Amino acid sequence: MGNCCMKQKREYKETALLAAQTCFSVSDLESLYELYKRLSSSIVDDNFINQEEFAFGLFGSRKKRNLFADRMYHIFDSNHDGLIDFGEFVRSLSIFHPKAPMEDKVSFSFRLYNLGETGYIRLEEVREMVLAFLQESDLVLSDEIVDAIVVKTFEEADSKGDGKIDMEEWTTFVDRNPAVLKNMTLPYLVDIGTRFPSFVERKDEDKEMDIFEASFNKIDDTC
């Protein structure tokens, strides 16, 4: 009995600490853990989210992957061990909370585009991400239109004209173009346990992840 109480106290302390580090309450984390358990056991029941399970959560398919999904997974996997644990899942998801600091959202979006992780966003990286967004949204545009979008966006952001976008330039760019960060805020993460109590109980495998999928499935708006 003593060991059981100690374990409960330790788990609560860890949950309270995670709540203090994020925009979620302890009760929010309890609901999120139910979602996490479903996602982390959707392919391999090991209490970690692997890349296939992450794609399943994003797209509702174990097979569908693209550059966007890979970049999201890489950023969520903050210690880069190839798996996402509950702490990583919650801390990354917290950035999409309406109460999350804007600088965190800006930083996350910058990392999303900075494919080479050089500290700068280059023209080709913008092009690759735009193509990934279009692929996911099933929106077909001609090469000429895509090139025009990419060049116009890059030239506007590259205020120093040195062929690369640094964090300072990116911050200025998104400040002038707030729509770029539109999908970095998910309103229903507020009181998620109250708004989405049903995902704890749902059993249909084809539907049980659609709340997580809904978090990111409108990425065409970002373009």
Closest CA to 136 of 208, 43, 221, 51: 221
How many CA within 13 A on the CB side of residue 106? 16
**More confident site: 68 or 160:** 160
Is the pLDDT at 197 greater than 50? The verdict is no
Residue 150: the pLDDT is: 93
Residue 68: the pLDDT is: 81
Band of pLDDT at residue 207, cut at 50, 70 and 90 = very low
Closest CA to 73 of 83, 60, 86: 83
Instruction: Convert the pLDDT of each residue in 33-66 to its tens digit.
Output: 988 998 999 899 999 999 999 988 876 666 666 7
**Percentage of the chain surpassing pLDDT 90?**
55
Q: Which two tokens stand for residue 147?
A: 């090139």
Structural domains present in the chain? 1-100+187-217 (1.10.238.10), 101-184 (1.10.238.10)
Radius of gyration over every alpha carbon of the chain, rounded to an integer in angstroms: 19
Predicted TM-score (pTM) of the model is 0.79
Is the pLDDT at 5 greater than 70? The verdict is no
Length of the chain: 223
